Amino acid sequence: MEDPYLTVRTCVDDGARQRAEHVLTAIAGSADWLVVTSQAALRALADLTSSEQLRLAFAVGAERGIGFATVGEATAAALQELGAGSVLVPAQSTAESLRQELSSRPPGSIIAPQGSQAMKGLAGGLRPLGWQIDEQVLYETSTVPVRPLSADRLATGDFAVVVLRSPTAVRAVASFVPVLPADTTIVCGGPTTAAEVERLGLGTVVISAGPTAAAVADTVVDCLNAGE
């Protein structure tokens, strides 16, 4: 069962388009790195400017040698589809792992289009090392205003496994169901999401071997088989 606990939408405030254009200008002409931690940032850029402008900025940036970095293979593929060449992806798909990768390189400037609930660990860890981080909020992530249909079933243990793939999703679920039954397993795509589950005391956590949909699905199957 799929049930949205979050809404993700491109920013619509008066300055949103200006922020998006600023990002494209930085990609094309000034930033040393483009760091994107979610495909939603790329969709927002296209919404606020155009796909053609986005591709042009990528082409110009790639030509002058801007670096591209992200935390997962799916977003890396989206960057490459837009015209990025090599994309830096850390071995572990977390912002902390990306911070470690970048901190081993000479400090430079980063343009980082992101969401309203983006975690600040990456920027906070790099700025003391001399990095300049330009963060621009282009999309909003918020908890749905109406209690999801699955919330009562979650609370009563109708589901053997719950899949959560971001800390924001963890907080959204916890806002409706503060604690899941002990026999409900929470499968997380990575350690950052799992840490948020543990911080909130939401329930029993299993971390997938990888963040991809296939790896998460395999972990779910393993959990279901173990419960038979």
Q: What is the pLDDT of residues 25-40, one digit of tens each?
A: 999 999 999 999 889 9
Same domain? For 222 and 122 the reply is: no
Q: Judging by beta carbons within 10 Å of its beta carbon (0-12, 13-18, 19+), is residue 106 exposed, middle or buried?
A: exposed
* CATH number assigned to the domain comprising residue 110: 3.40.50.10090
More confident residue, 152 or 119: 152
Instruction: Give the domain range for residue 220.
Output: 151-226
Give the chain's mean pLDDT.
Answer: 93
Same domain? For 87 and 119 the reply is: yes
Same domain? For 74 and 173 the reply is: no
Same domain? For 90 and 42 the reply is: yes
> Mapping DSSP to helix (H, G, I), strand (E, B) and coil, where does residue 115 land?
strand
Whether 3 has a pLDDT exceeding 80, the answer reads: yes
Same domain? For 59 and 36 the reply is: yes
Last residue of a domain, one of 86, 109, 142: 142
- Does residue 161 form part of some domain? yes
Count the Cβ atoms, other than its own, within 10 Å of residue 14.
7
Same domain? For 65 and 37 the reply is: yes
**What is the spatial distance between Cα 152 and Cα 157, in angstroms, rounded to a whole number?**
9
Tell me the pLDDT band of 162, cut-offs 50, 70 and 90: very high
Last residue of a domain, one of 115, 142, 169: 142
pLDDT of residue 92: 80
pLDDT of residue 210: 80
- Contact by Cβ (8 Å): 162, 184: yes
- Does residue 2 form part of some domain? no
Placement of tokens 């980082």 in the chain: 112
Whether 73 has a pLDDT exceeding 90, the answer reads: no
Last residue of a domain, one of 142, 172, 188: 142
- Does residue 1 form part of some domain? no
Whether 86 has a pLDDT exceeding 80, the answer reads: yes
- Does residue 191 form part of some domain? yes
Stated pTM of the model: 0.84
**How many domains does the chain contain in total?**
2
More confident residue, 149 or 94: 149
